[in-house]
Chain A
Amino acid sequence: MKKRGLFVCVLVVCLLVPLSVFGAGSKEADAGKPVTLNLLMEDVPDTQIIKNMLPEFEAKTGIKVNFEIVQYTDMHTKLITQFLAPTSTYDVIEVDNYWAGEFPAAGWLEPLDEYVKKDNFDMSVYVPAMMEMVGYYMDKLYMIPMYNYTMALMYRNDVFTDKALHDKYRKQFGKDFAPPVSLDEYVEQCIFVQENTNMYGSAMQGGKGDPIAMEWSNYFFALGGRIYDDNWKATINGPIALKAIELYKKNIAQGAPAGATSYTLEDSLRMMSAGEAFSFISYNWMLAQFQDEKVSKLKDKVQLVPVPGESGLAGGWGWAIAANTPKKDAAWEFIKWVESPAVVKARALAGGAPTRYDVLRDAEVLAKYPYYSEVEKILEKARPVPEFEYSSQMVEMLGRELSLIVSSGKDPQVALAQLEKDFNELAKKANLQK
C-alpha cells in the first residue's frame, strides 16, 4: 500500500532530525589543535584595524582569532545567554561601560589581578577615570580599558569669527561672542545662532532612551549633579536636575531642529556633518571625521572642548575574559598583545580612541591628532553613569522620563520624584543600599 510508504518517508525525515542531534554531539576534544579564540565585535573601524593586525598575533603566539560581527544590542543579548551556558563560545569579551557593573556583579567575568601581576602588565599608563569606569569593579580588576566613548562639546569656530554676528551678540547680551564657559551660556548661544543664521544651534539627540539620557547626563554633570551619592542613595531629585532639565528643554525647543526629539547619535552626526548645525555634544573622536577632507567640508572648522561646567559624560569599552571559557590563558595572551604599547599606538594612529597617557602624549600620535591634548583633559574630567547590575535599566528609565518631559509635557518634578523612587529601588534590588 502506498500509504505505508508515505508515512515511512515522513517518519524518516522526522527521525533523522533527533538522530543527527546525537551525531553532532561527539566532536569536541581536539587537544593537539591550535587554540582558536572567538570574539564578539561591533562593525566599527577599530574592529577592522585590529583584524588587519591579527596575522602578527597569530605568527607570534600560534593562537587563531575569530571575530563575529553583530550589532551592539545583539552583543548584549548573545553574551548574557552565553554566560548562562556551561561554556561560553566567546572567550575575550568586549565590555561596554553600561555592562561594566552587570557582568562582574553576576560573576560572568574572570578577575584579572592575578594575570596582571604575573606578567607585570603595566596598568599605570591608563587614565585613572578610564580604569575607574572600565577597569575596576568593587576594587577588583575585571577589564582593561580598550576604547573611550567620552562625550565632549564640538562647535563651529567659524561662527565666532563672523563680525556681524559678533556685533549682534554683543548688542544683545553685552559681552563678547566667544566659546561658552558655562552651560547657561552655551544654551544661550545655540538659541542665538539658530535665530540669526541659517544654521541650527545644536544638533541635539533627544530620542527616547539611551540618546536623550546620555545627552542630558552631560547637562546634569556639567551643573555638578550626581545620580547616586556614595551610599547609593538616589540624588536625582533636586534643584540641579531641575535646572538641567530646564536648560535642556529650552535648548531643544529653541536651539535645535524640530526633529531632535527623535534624534539618535546618528541623526545628530549627520546634521553636524552636513554643516546644518553650530554645535553638538557627542563622542570626542567624532572630530576625526570632520578633519577628513575626503568626507567632510568642515576641516579645521570644528573645535573640541570639554562640556562647559564641572564634567561631561564618560563612556568606553574594556577587554575582559569570560569566566566560563576554558581558554583563559590564550584570552589573556590576546589582551596583552592588543593592549601592548606598539599595537595600541598603531590602533590610535589608525583612528582608535585611546585610553592611556603614553599614547595620548606620543609625539607621532599628537602630530596626527593635535587635539589629543584636549582629549586628555576631557577624559580626566568626565564621569560615567553609575555602574551596577542595573545600569542599563537605570539609563532606560531616565531616557523614558526625559522623553516624556520633552515631548509629552510631563511635569519635571513628578518625573524626578518617580525616578528617585525607582533608582532607590534598583539600588536595593542590587543590594547596594541597606
Chain B
Amino acid sequence: MKSYKLLKQTSLFFTYVALILFSLMIALPVLWTLRTSFVNEVDAYAMPPRLFPSFTFDNYRELFGNDGFGEFLINSLIISLASTAMAVPIASLGGYAFARYKAGGNILRFTVLATQMLPGVVLILPLFIVMSRLHLSDTYLGMTIAYLAFNLPFLIWIMTGFFASIPKDLDDAAAMDGLTPVQSFFRIILPIALPGIMATAVLSFIFSWNEFLFAIVLSGRNTMPIPVRLAAMKTRQGIQIAKLSAGTIIAIMPMVFISGFVKRYLISGLSLGAIKS
C-alpha cells in the first residue's frame, strides 16, 4: 500500500510539472503581449529585450479615445452573445435528433457538416449579395445570423457527441415513466448534458468572437467587431504592435468572466451529482 501511495505521489508530482510547463508555454507569450501593451511603439522591439524600456498607458488611451475601441467591444459582445443565445438551443435540439433518433442517418449528418468544408473566401461574395439584398449588411441581425449559420454545423456535431455519450437507458427509463420525448429531453437529458452544453456555448461564443472573414465583408461602421479592427493595425506603413497588444489584451477580458462562470460545469463535474440522485 505504501508503494502505491508513493507511486501516486510521484505521478501527481509529474502531472503538476507537466501542467505548469504547458501553462508557462501558453502564458509567456501572452504575458509578453501584456508587457508590450504598456510600452511605446518604438520600444516594443527594443534590443536586447527589456521588460519595461518605457511604461505608458498611451496604447490603451488611444484605443479607447481616438479609435473608439469601446464601440467595437460592444459590437463584438452583442453579436457573439446573440448568436450564442440562438445557437445553443438549436444545436441542442439538432444534436439530440442525430444522437437519439438517428434522424436522416449519417448522410444527413455529413451534409450538415459539409456546409463547413468550403473555404469561406468563395462564399463571401454570394453571402454579401444575399445580405445586401435583404438590407442586412452592416446590421447586428445580419452578422448574428451569418455567425449562427456558420457555427451551427460544428455545434450540432459537438452536441451530438455529448448526447451520444449519455447512456440510452436513461431515455428508456423516462419513457417507461410516461414522459414524452420533449419532456425527457428537458428533464432528464439536458441536465446531464450540461457540461457539453456549456462547452458548446463557450465554443459558439469564441467562434463568433474571433470570426474574421465574414466580418470583413458583412460589417461596416455600425457593426465592426474587434478582429477586423485589430487586423487594421497592420498597415502599409508598418504594424502598430503595441496598440495591437493592448487591443488583444482587452479582447481576452470577456473570457475571464466566461471561464469564471462556466468552470463549475466544465471542470468540477458538478452535474454528475445531479444524475446519480
Contact = CB atoms under 8 A, between A and B. Distances in A.
Q: Do A and B bind each other?
A: yes
Interface of A: 1-3, 6, 10, 13, 17, 20-21, 24-25, 27, 38, 42-45, 48, 66, 68-72, 74, 77-78, 81, 84-86, 89, 96, 149, 265-266, 269-270, 273-274, 276, 283, 295-296
B135 interface: yes
B190 to A, nearest CB: 12
Contact of B239 (A3, A42, A266): A266
Contacts of B181: 3
Given A81-B125, A295-B40, 12 more contacts: A10-B89, A21-B135, A24-B135, A25-B135, A38-B221, A44-B235, A44-B236, A81-B124, A84-B125, A85-B132, A96-B236, A265-B238
Nearest to A27: B135
Interface stretch (B7-15, B192-200, B224-232): B224-232
A274 B221 contact: no
Contacts of A81: 124-125, 128, 217
Interface stretch (B19-27, B30-38, B138-146, B260-268): B138-146
Contacts of B129: 84-85
Contacts of A69: 67, 229, 232
A250 B152 CA distance: 53
Interface in B119-138: 124-125, 128-129, 132, 134-138
A77 B124 contact: yes
B114 interface: no
A6 B47 CA distance: 62
B115 interface: no
18 contacts: A2-B186, A3-B183, A17-B141, A24-B135, A24-B141, A42-B235, A42-B236, A43-B67, A66-B221, A69-B229, A84-B125, A89-B137, A89-B138, A274-B45, A274-B46, A276-B47, A295-B41, A295-B42
Task: Report the 8 A-B pairs with minimum CB-CB distance, sorted nearest first.
Answer: A3-B182, A295-B42, A71-B231, A25-B135, A21-B134, A71-B232, A68-B221, A24-B135
Nearest to A68: B221
A265 B45 CA distance: 15
Nearest to A286: B237
A367 B194 CA distance: 70
Contacts of A25: 134-135
Interface in B23-74: 40-42, 45-47, 66-67
Contacts of A48: 66
B239 A17 contact: no
Nearest to B230: A71
Given A2-B182, A295-B42, A269 B232 contact: no
Given A10-B89, A68-B224, A70-B231, A45 B134 contact: no
Nearest to B124: A81
Nearest to A70: B232
Nearest to A295: B42
B129 to A, nearest CB: 7
Contacts of B90: 10
B216 A24 contact: no
Contacts of A17: 141, 145
A1 B134 contact: no
Contacts of B203: none
Contacts of A3: 180-183
Contacts of B235: 42-44, 71-72
B40 to A, nearest CB: 7
B77 interface: no
Contacts of B228: 70-71, 74
Contacts of A21: 134-136, 141
B170 to A, nearest CB: 19
| Interface core residue of A24, A42, A69 (most chain B CB under 10 Å) | A69
A89 B220 CA distance: 9
Contact of B180 (A1, A43, A295, A296): A1
Interface string B217-257: 10011001000110111111111100000000000000000
B91 to A, nearest CB: 12
Contacts of A1: 180
A295 B58 CA distance: 14
A24 B134 contact: yes
Nearest to B40: A295
A283 B236 CA distance: 10
Given A21-B134, A74-B216, A84-B129, A266 B231 contact: no
B81 interface: no
Nearest to A51: B66
A77 B217 contact: yes
| Interface core residue of B124, B181, B232, B236 (most chain A CB under 10 Å) | B236
Contacts of B221: 38, 66, 68
| Interface core residue of B67, B129, B132, B145 (most chain A CB under 10 Å) | B132
Given A1-B180, A3-B180, A43 B136 contact: no
A2 B136 contact: no
B188 interface: no
| Interface core residue of B182, B217, B237 (most chain A CB under 10 Å) | B237
Contact of A78 (B66, B217, B236): B217
Nearest to A41: B232
Nearest to B182: A3
A220 to B, nearest CB: 21
